[in-house]
Amino acid sequence: MDKINLKKHISGQFNVELEGVLNQVLVMGGLVEQQLSDAITAIHEQDMDMARQIVANDHKVNALEVQIDEECTRIIAKRQPAASDLRLVLAIIKTITDLERIGDVAKRIGMMLLDNANKKQPPLVSMENMGRRTVKMLHEALDAFARMDVEAAIEVHKEDDKVDREYESIIRELMTFMMEDPRTIPQVLNVLWCARSLERVGDRVQHLCEYIIYFVKGKDVRHTSDEDIHNMLGR
């Protein structure tokens, strides 16, 4: 069993403080997931009110990052955790950095939409599918985080291959658009940036999964292929 009863684990050694931090991470994760999901809806529906809302909300994500980071530092200094407790706090510190940068992607998409609100809209190709897949990955990674479920983290990690393939196909499609009608280039480039950013969100969700594995297994699996992660964990 790779699942850990996190609450039980903590109450024995840490205290309500750390539970509070874990809840805050999930609040932050939920907010970032919403921002990302809204960004994809805003692209798809060219919804400028939603775009404005995303940009306006970004400061909440940033504030949560700073707040959780400070709380983690305080906990380390005060509680002097060792071994797996320390790994958990360090995993949280890394997790919120990636969450914050996923939040930045949503904000940048919102800003891009606002900048181009009055211009001719580009062909929308199949961004929606890829976008929804990254949101789903993020959702499942946060779920895996809440349960510190290594099996689930490995599954989510593997999902990124699909995002990469969808991304490649979107790029090919957009290139064809541009070559057929060069006047669309400036607009299509904006869509390209969005696609690229979403592809990078998949990479960041992989990081989140790696932090879960790091915490539970004590193994640093960054820079390790999916297959090797599987083998390393003896599956």
- Give me the residues that bind its own copies (CB under 8 A), please: 59, 62, 65-66, 69-70, 73, 76-77, 80-83, 86-87, 90, 93-94, 97, 171, 175, 178-179, 182-183, 185-186, 189, 192-193, 196, 220, 222-223
- Give 73 or 121: the residue with its C-beta nearer to its own copies: 73
- Give 145 or 214: the residue with its C-beta nearer to its own copies: 214
Distance CA 55, CA 89 (A): 29
- Give 41 or 62: the residue with its C-beta nearer to its own copies: 62
Picking from 219, 221, 98, 218, the residue whose alpha carbon sits closest to that of residue 157 is: 221
- Give 50 or 90: the residue with its C-beta nearer to its own copies: 90
The answer to whether residues 31 and 61 touch, using CB atoms and an 8 Å cutoff, is yes
Residue 182 CB, nearest approach to its own copies (Å): 5
Residue 150 CB, nearest approach to its own copies (Å): 19
Distance CA 209, CA 20 (A): 21
- Give 30 or 182: the residue with its C-beta nearer to its own copies: 182
Distance CA 125, CA 49 (A): 22
CA dihedral 101, 19, 71, 135 (to 10 degrees): 10
- Give 70 or 228: the residue with its C-beta nearer to its own copies: 70
Residue 12 CB, nearest approach to its own copies (Å): 18
Q: Determine the angle formed by the axes of helices 16-45 and 185-217, rounding to 10 degrees.
A: 160
Picking from 114, 100, 82, the residue whose alpha carbon sits closest to that of residue 190 is: 114
Residue 47 CB, nearest approach to its own copies (Å): 25
Distance CA 54, CA 194 (A): 15
Residue 185 CB, nearest approach to its own copies (Å): 5
- Give 76 or 146: the residue with its C-beta nearer to its own copies: 76
Cβ density class 140-178: b for 16+ within 10 Å, e for less: bbbebbbbbbbebbbbbbebbeebeebbeebbeebeebb
CA dihedral 102, 218, 64, 23 (to 10 degrees): 110
Residue 145 CB, nearest approach to its own copies (Å): 18
